[in-house]
């Protein structure tokens, strides 16, 4: 078997396990309340790369784990992620996700929030099936940190004075922490050494950070058909993301004030060609290019963390393929365009 290079090749490496994850997700969504099942299926079946379950399965394979535990863990991680999406779309007033109407648009805010609560509680039911207190602590801490990050982001909504430090704090909490947990839990299940466990923690943290930075870059690069949401949605929601922080740092006073005003008001529709002007500012300041470079630096940190796994990769063939796949995800994370 050739070493996996592209994302489809990486998925092929764990295809049997992914099929099991999808089957278990359908079981987890079953409820006597039809609306719960409809909303859960709406968001889970709406597409996406399933990157978090992929991380669980690849990390498990790299550590030689087999059986039901990696499948359960992947389901728990995906249920937590899906619950956060339902809540986030309500808070942000989002209309599109992956090119389709968000659940809050199709089913209403109240139903989306309550179904998100259901998915959270279902995730914790599955945690009990793992019957492993250290893992429950990891996942509970991750869930708590995600909520904290979302509140911190809300606190800074329409605030143009966010520093890079605060931005990185927010994206670690709201995104990278669950990536970290997806890689951390398999190491706990495998009873890996402290050094190997920390390597997986660091890998997930830095990969998740790179992933979110690129998401924030793509918000200004793609049209709805490519990205699955409207260009400039983050700005309309008052989110001061890394490209805007860099543009305000490097732009002229007029450019800085233009961005500040849009962040404060979020009223893109009231200013003629506002998005075109923002695109020109981002281009002239090279803010998107610089943001991509910072994402690359985070991805390189993730790659560096995997050096601790080299002794594992020399033991047998299967872990080597999984470790190689984890390495390739680093480049795929920062270089993606949609």
Note the pLDDT tens digit of each residue in 116-142. Answer: 899 999 999 999 998 999 999 999 999
* Other Cβ atoms closer than 10 A to 175: 21
Q: Collect all residues with Cβ–Cβ distance below 8 Å to 87 and sequence separation of at least 6.
A: 112, 113, 116, 150
The pair phi, psi for residue 62, each rounded to 5°, is: -60, -30
Provide the CATH number for the domain around residue 87. 1.10.600.10
Note whether residue 2 is domain-resident: no
Note whether residue 31 is domain-resident: yes
Mean pLDDT of 93-100: 71
- Domain containing 56 equals 7-335
d(CA 140, CA 127): 9
Note whether residue 1 is domain-resident: no
d(CA 335, CA 301): 15
SS (H, E, C) 57-110: HHHHHHCCCCCHHHHHHHHHHHHHHHHHHHHHHHHHCCCEECCEECHHHHHCHH
Note whether residue 54 is domain-resident: yes
The pair phi, psi for residue 89, each rounded to 5°, is: -65, -30
pTM for the full predicted model: 0.91
Note whether residue 227 is domain-resident: yes
Give the tokens for residue 143. 């869930």
User: Percentage of the chain surpassing pLDDT 90?
Assistant: 62
pLDDT bucket at 317, cuts 50 / 70 / 90: very low
Tell me: the pLDDT tens digits for 221-273? 865 444 445 667 888 888 999 999 999 999 999 999 999 999 998 777 667 68
Sign of CA dihedral 218, 224, 225, 228: positive
What's the domain count of the chain?
Answer: 1
Q: Is the pLDDT of residue 290 over 80?
A: yes
Which of the two residues, 205 and 265, has the higher pLDDT score?
205
Mean pLDDT of 190-196: 94
């Amino acid at each position: 078997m050739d070493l996996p290079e592209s994302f489809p090749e990486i998925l092929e490496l764990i295809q049997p396990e992914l099929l099991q994850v999808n089957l278990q997700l359908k079981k987890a969504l079953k409820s006597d309340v039809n609306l719960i099942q409809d909303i859960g299926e709406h968001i889970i079946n709406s597409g996406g790369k399933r990157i978090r379950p992929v991380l669980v399965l690849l990390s498990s394979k790299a550590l030689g784990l087999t059986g039901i535990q990696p499948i359960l863990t992947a389901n728990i991680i995906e249920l937590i992620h899906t619950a956060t999406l339902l809540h986030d779309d309500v808070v942000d007033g989002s209309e599109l996700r992956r090119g389709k109407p968000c659940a809050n648009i199709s089913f209403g805010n109240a139903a989306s929030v309550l179904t998100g609560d259901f998915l959270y509680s279902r995730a914790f039911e599955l945690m009990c099936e793992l019957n492993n207190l250290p893992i429950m602590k990891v996942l509970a801490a991750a869930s708590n940190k995600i909520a904290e990050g979302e509140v911190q982001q809300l606190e800074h909504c329409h605030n143009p004075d966010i520093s890079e430090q605060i931005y990185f704090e927010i994206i670690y909490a709201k995104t990278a922490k669950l990536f970290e947990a997806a890689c951390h839990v398999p190491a706990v299940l495998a009873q890996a050494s402290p050094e190997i466990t920390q390597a997986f923690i660091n890998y997930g943290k830095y990969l998740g950070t790179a992933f979110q930075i690129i998401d924030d870059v793509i918000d200004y690069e793609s049209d709805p058909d490519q990205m699955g949401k409207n260009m400039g949605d983050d700005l309309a929601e008052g989110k001061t993301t890394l490209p805007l922080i860099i543009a305000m740092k490097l732009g002229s006073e007029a450019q800085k004030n233009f961005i500040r005003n849009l962040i404060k008001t979020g009223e893109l529709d009231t200013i003629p060609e506002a998005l075109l002007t923002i695109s020109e500012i981002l281009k002239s300041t090279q803010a998107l290019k610089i943001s991509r470079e910072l994402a690359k630096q985070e991805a390189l940190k993730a790659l560096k963390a995997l050096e601790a796994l080299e002794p594992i990769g020399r033991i047998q063939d299967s872990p080597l393929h999984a470790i190689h796949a984890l390495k390739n995800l680093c480049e795929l994370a920062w270089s993606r365009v949609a």
